Structure 1
């Protein structure tokens, strides 16, 4: 039977008990034996934002306060997207027992992955708030666009997660391929460097702007730091989101029913 991606996502959101409880259980069991507990969830964003941020600010001659916020926000958006997509490639195989037992609403497992990545993102919000507090470029008006921008990021994660999870169920090598591609894309995402250092009319700027993570990071971060958002970013994300969802709906409709056989 052909399945509807949109309908399955709506059903998953209407019945969150399974994926929310499973996410909570994952997190509890991961940290309960650790003496420092949830501190380990705070440690990476603190280390990366202030440790790496200050180091690269001095390395590039940038103002530390501004660059720390630039790097920290960029890193957290990048991490949110990449962790979601990387884990989505193996989520069906990891839940094979549930799927073979008849729980075939596959979007439950995608949202379990996304919810876990979102949890770590939310935990990093206080760190980002501290970074923005010391940034001379912080703009309060950016908070108005923050939630819509994050919703757009999640909307794109949802369709990309659906695509890579279905393909990953059929081809185990997809996990390695996606991991390598995401690692490579880090170099072309303005995290350790700024978008202004790669103008759109240059070859390096054009290559960087072909990377969707470039635009997903900029749509969230630029308003917070008082930086302009390029018209290309709006156009790119509009086309990327619509075309991506149409592609994901088609792939899910054609191949989701084969997932129990593939895993």
Structure 2
């Protein structure tokens, strides 16, 4: 029997008990064993924002007060997307017992992965808020775009997660491949550099703008820091949303029913 991606996501959001509780339990169990608890969830964002940010600012001759929030925001958005996509490749195989027991609404497992990544994003926000507070280029009106932009990013993440979950169930090696691709894509995402350093009319600028993470990061960060947001970013993300959901709905309807056999 074929499954509908939109219907399964709708049902998962209407009945979130499984994936919300599973995410909460995993996080609580992980940090309850640690003496410093949630400090370790905040620590990477602090190190990247103020440690790596200050280092690369001086290395490239940038003003640290301007570069630190640029890197901090870029890092937490990049981590939100890449952690979701990387773990989506093993979302089905990690829940084999549930699926074989008849719980074949795969969107529950995808949303569990995204919810965990979103938790780390939200936990890191206070660190970035401190960086923004000392940033001379901070645009308070940019906060009005934060929720819509984050929603746009998440809508793209969950269709990509659905595709990768099904493909990952069929080809387990996709996890290693996606991990390597995402690691390499860090260099083509404006986190350690500014978007204007790779102009659109250059080869390196064109290559960088083919990277979806370039636009997923920029749509959230640029309004907050008063950085120019290219019109191409809106076109790219809108096209990716429409085409991506169409592709994901087809792939899910066609192949999701085979996942219990593949795993």
Matched position secondary structure for 1:91: coil
For 1:62 and 1:240, the matched residues in 2 are separated by 33
* Moved segments of 4+, more than 6 Å: none
Deviation at 1:227, TM superposition (A): 1.3
For residues 41-80 of structure 1, the aligned pairs below 5 Å read: 41-80=41-80
The residue that corresponds to 1:205 in the other structure is: 205
For residues 100-249 of structure 1, the aligned pairs below 5 Å read: 100-249=100-249
Query: For 1:38-76, what per-residue CA distance to the aligned partner results, in whole angstroms no more than 9, with x for missing partners?
Result: 110010000110000000000011010110000000000
For 2:26 and 2:119, the matched residues in 1 are separated by 11
For 2:243 and 2:179, the matched residues in 1 are separated by 23
For 1:224 and 1:3, the matched residues in 2 are separated by 40
The residue that corresponds to 1:97 in the other structure is: 97
TM-score normalised by structure 2 residue count: 0.99
The residue that corresponds to 2:5 in the other structure is: 5
Deviation at 1:35, TM superposition (A): 0.7
The residue that corresponds to 1:23 in the other structure is: 23
What residue ranges of structure 2 are gaps of 5+ in the alignment? none
Deviation at 1:226, TM superposition (A): 0.6
Deviation at 1:169, TM superposition (A): 0.1
For 2:113 and 2:227, the matched residues in 1 are separated by 32
The residue that corresponds to 1:85 in the other structure is: 85
* RMSD, matched Cα: 0.5
TM-score normalised by structure 1 residue count: 0.99
Deviation at 1:33, TM superposition (A): 1.2
For 2:35 and 2:234, the matched residues in 1 are separated by 45
Query: For 1:160-200, what per-residue CA distance to the aligned partner results, in whole angstroms no more than 9, with x for missing partners?
Result: 00000000000011001100110111000000000010000
